[in-house]
Amino acid sequence: MESPDKLQRIVEARMKLKARFEEMIRK
């Protein structure tokens, strides 16, 4: 069972990756 804290870090990391990816697409 994953701890909520670990899951939150994964979600934040995915959001950062998605934001960076969208920036690359716009440029």
Q: Is the pLDDT of residue 1 over 70?
A: no
pLDDT, average across residues 2-24:
95
Integer Rg of the chain from CA: 12
CA–CA gap between residue 19 and residue 9 (Å, rounded): 15
Q: Is the pLDDT of residue 27 over 90?
A: no
CA–CA gap between residue 6 and residue 4 (Å, rounded): 5
What was the pLDDT predicted at 15? 98
pLDDT, average across residues 1-27:
93
What is the pTM for the complete model shown?
0.60
Average pLDDT over the chain, rounded to an integer: 93
Tell me which amino acid residue 16 is. Answer: K
Percentage above 70 pLDDT, the chain: 93
